[in-house]
A and B are shown apart, each in its own frame.
Chain A
Amino acid sequence: MSTAVSAPAAVAALPVEVTGLMKRFGSLTALDGVSLRLEPGICLGLLGPNGAGKSTLIRSIVGRVLPDSGHVRIFGAEASTAAARQALGWIPQELAIYPRLTCRENLISFGKYQGLGGARLAEQVQWCLHWAALEDRAGDAAGKLSGGMKRRLNMAAGIIHKPRLVLMDEPTVGVDPQSRNRIFEMIEQLRSEGMSILYTTHYMEEAERLCDRIAIIDHGRIIAEGTGEELVRNAFGTRSEVTARFSGNPEEIAAWVKQRGGSMGEGTAQFTVARPTEIAPLLDDASMSGIGIEDVSLRRPNLESVFLHLTGRELRD
């Protein structure tokens, strides 16, 4: 608490400020000097493949992982202090609900754990049931709900106390497209109400749709941060991306792609071009090298392209 009091006023107002966070599990470095800021009312996407350190970072912010070094402040308060706990809501990746309790009973329990009671608790439970579209299933045991409904209940339990900051750790894992859209609408509603959100995902589409700003994390380090457009522009400038699938000897194809400054991923080759007219000479060169062309497309680079460009790996690796 004393740290929180001594923090500068401008920094204390930030929903999240992470500075030089280090965490090792044995020989594995999960977080390698992560620094991050979340501005009020912003949805910051934390984009990275499995094992990149997203969950460890989130759990450090929640106060459930004790970092080896570095600091985490929530609205100026040190992580895991009572003030920080009260200010944040956490939606973990796991379905952290009581399966034998009904939806309403789950929300009441987690509301009480957050110090709610009386009319305020009843009001919040009702609001959460409405927000998660679970009013009709309020009396059903959580264990009997569909996967999507359980996810929504899991989310509702995380914001039962109406926190100013919500940490969402891949809330759409294992959810069908229809339920995913419903979850997106729920998150967009929170955004419209001015809630600050830190959202981890390894789905590029989610980050592009929901997040104002995106931080790309890999091997426990933030390797880029900005809006989606800023990230693409910083990585590719005004260049476009050519994706091609070739037929022939894979080793020869890989060598040729590398020679032409491209990269291979999941059987496709990616190149960047400043102008569409650069495509024809590229394809001519492939034919002359004995490589067959199956499919070619031109598109504006996206976050996936940025990630591949920065790390040499696919997001879903």
Chain B
Amino acid sequence: MDSVTATTVEAPLLEVRACRQSYHKDASADLLVLDGVNVSIASGEIVGLLGRSGSGKSTLLRIVAGLLTPTAGEVLWRGAPVSGPTLGVAMVFQSFALFPWLTVQENVELGLEAQGVARAKRDELSETALDLIGLGGYASAYPKELSGGMRQRVGLARALVVHPDLLLMDEPFSALDVLTAETLRTDLIDLWSEGKLPIKSILMVTHNIEEAVLMCDRILVFSSNPGRVANELRVPFPHPRNRHDAAFRQFVDDIYAIMTRRAPAPPKTSAAAAPAVDVTFATPLQPVSTNLLAGLIETLAAPPYSGKADLPALAAALQLEADELLPMGEALQMLGFGVLAEGDLHLTDSGRDFANADTDTRKTLFASALRAHVPLVAAIRRTLDERWNHRAAAVRFRDELEDHMSPKYAEDTLRTVIAWGRYAELYTYDEEAAQFSLEDIEVPA
């Protein structure tokens, strides 16, 4: 594997320079997914792209894989520009992406077939890869006969069998249960440390902070909207790493702190004084159910947290990943019920009020928080109040949102305000007509 002679300075395997990816919309406003991203991957390292969903990290992985062309910037593979899927790069998919009609062996041989490798050679290579990854004896099985963990092993074997220099992994363990994911991670790291993997480097996307710290040598933390590399961290621990090690825990804590920090300019005033900063009409909202929010507020208010929780601890207690917990915390912050700061989540006074209130009062509190802090909700309600028939088509708000964000975000945002507004009894929504209305809503005179 170390074919580089001592005299040459090892050039990076892969370089991404000033990469920018925009989502094209009607030739008008370009919506930025990635902006000014520089990544360089050397031989012999595992690099993690860590970020919230929607921070463009999967997009970056697809650009590196040659599946997507960046809008601007360049991708260099061993110094040469990439213009399509490269031979030395193989990918492992979040959803496994196995062909249900091919056996394990046929799935694994797919990439070899594409290269026109002869049958005998293919058999030999696939057998080696299957044995390496612990799938010996499964060759003739179909993917649907396997458990999730075994399926992802097939995905791994399929990528390894072509002996790529760079292995790309797109949230490879996020579709697996906790135990299975852990086994697979340690197996992979063991093979990596023992130098048994026929690869030089790994680039993996994850939203699981512990996973990143457990596996990677270097972590690039992404900020969202647009996706940028906000921080680059070198993980100083040797393999195998211990999750319960104090230094490890501290490292995870620090990353939580980084991720809860507001990306471009951290607020200078005490965060508690200014909840819900810069929420505009066009702030994308992530669909978090009101049940979850209420549950989180209750949990925070009750002991042992009594109003303040450390995020990694809270995530562990609630069995949530950072990617799931952070949007909830942010929603609380936006509504003025909580404050996220330095890896902690505090409950505000109105948050405590909410926790102590009965159902109807909670709805009232939620409604006023929505109208005060979520301009989109306020705008919908205002429109409905103004209309003689108290109805308004959703498409009009969707169109406005799509001027500022991708259709997917607009859809999510719209679904969120529908769900929140329904709970708060600010308006109702008729799904078939795709209309907001004030039917059955008590309108104060």
Decide whether A and B assemble into one complex.
no
* Chain A residues proximal to chain B, CB less than 8 Å: none
* Chain B residues proximal to chain A, CB less than 8 Å: none
